[in-house]
Amino acid sequence: MRVIIEARNAFDRLIQRDPDHLDHYYDYAQMLAAMGNHAEALAKLNTALAYCPFEPEWNLEAAASYLALEDFERAQAFIAVAAESLSGADETALSGVRLQTLRQNLSQATRP
């Protein structure tokens, strides 16, 4: 528990020192999501996405958290933005795999 508190404090200090460095919000969100705190992760992601709404990795992270929260409509919306952003030369193999995995998970979760 102490390590989690220290990590949170470290991220809070990073953001306080450099609030315009949006990757801090994304990294913090990844940590929160890994701990299962998807609602708080989305709050951090939404801060970053407000400034850069088409960043594929951030949209994929948001989709994963919405999927974990069983908000399938929002998960689909973020998957769609990520897919559009990834189309073309910017697609990396890892992002493409993550996109396909999220699509499959969403499909399985919404099957009757």
> What are the domain boundaries of the chain?
2-109
The pLDDT tens digits of the residues spanning 44-90 come to: 999 999 999 999 999 999 999 999 999 999 999 999 999 888 876 55
- Do 71 and 38 touch, CB atoms closer than 8 A? no
Q: Which class would CATH give 2-109?
A: mainly alpha
Output the pLDDT for position 90: 58
